[in-house]
């Protein structure tokens, strides 16, 4: 019995060491040296679609007329790993009310096996894209959201008109997400007056 407990303990200890060792070169904050994003609808694709700023804007344009939540995440970002399952749940909860969600992965090409496992474990129903390696990251960040400097996770909320309604830098609790989602659903549903 003692030997069995030893092997169970050793197996658990080894599994806890694998993920940190695989991510040892990753930065905990900021993505200034981390390129990556990708896409796939439903089950994770073996190779996520690469996008740059122009590609991001094309994807975003497909959702014009809908309130949108975009999450920028990476497997090397612990708050991203903690927050992502909640975003998967929120998409399931609010998609029937018109909310669209997509993700942009910021991992390096070398980390794609981790990305595939992460997506398989979380089973998002929304598409995920991967930031194209080698692009100018500061220009990408600023082009997505002028207030974003690369800290992760980054979540951007868009109204039906395609304009940014709000954003989160860093991990936020579910209540904050729900408040922001209610805001874009209500803002998006409100009739526009004027010109």
Cα–Cα distance for residue pair 6/8, rounded to 1 Å: 6
Report whether pLDDT(34) > 90. no
Looking at the domain assignment, is residue 68 inside a domain? yes
99 in a structural domain:
yes
Report, as an integer, the average pLDDT of 111-117.
96
Q: Does the residue 5 lie in any domain?
A: no
Residue 166 lies in a domain: yes
User: Is 109 a domain residue?
Assistant: yes
The predicted structure's pLDDT at residue 129: 98
Closest by CA to 126, choosing from 51, 38, 14, 58, is 38
* Number of domains observed in the structure of the chain: 1
pLDDT in tens, 45-73: 458 999 999 999 999 999 999 999 999 99
User: Tell me, what CATH number does 130's domain have?
Assistant: 3.40.30.10
Average model confidence (pLDDT) across the chain: 80
For residue 142, is it within any domain? Answer: yes
Count Cβ atoms within 10 A of the Cβ of residue 107 and give its class: 0-12 exposed, 13-18 middle, 19 or more buried.
buried
> What does the pLDDT look like over 162-183, one tens digit per residue?
999 999 999 999 999 999 999 9
**Domain hosting residue 121, numbered range:** 28-189
């Amino acid at each position: 019995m003692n030997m069995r407990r030893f092997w169970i303990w050793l197996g658990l200890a080894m599994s806890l060491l694998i993920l940190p060792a695989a991510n040892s070169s990753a930065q905990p904050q900021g993505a200034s040296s981390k390129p990556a994003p990708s896409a796939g609808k439903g089950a994770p694709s073996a190779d996520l679609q690469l996008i740059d700023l122009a590609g991001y804007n094309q994807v975003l344009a497909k959702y014009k007329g809908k309130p949108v939540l975009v999450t920028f995440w990476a497997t090397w970002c612990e708050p991203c790993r903690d927050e992502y399952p909640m975003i998967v749940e929120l998409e399931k909860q609010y998609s029937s009310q018109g909310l669209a969600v997509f993700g942009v992965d910021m991992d390096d090409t070398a980390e794609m096996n981790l990305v595939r496992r992460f997506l398989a474990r979380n089973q998002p129903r929304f598409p995920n894209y991967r930031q194209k390696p080698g692009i100018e990251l500061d220009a990408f960040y600023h082009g997505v959201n002028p207030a974003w400097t690369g800290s992760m996770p980054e979540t951007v909320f868009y109204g039906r008109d395609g304009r940014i309604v709000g954003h989160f830098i860093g991990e936020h609790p579910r209540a904050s997400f729900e408040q922001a989602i209610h805001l874009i659903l209500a803002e998006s549903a409100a009739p526009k007056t004027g010109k």
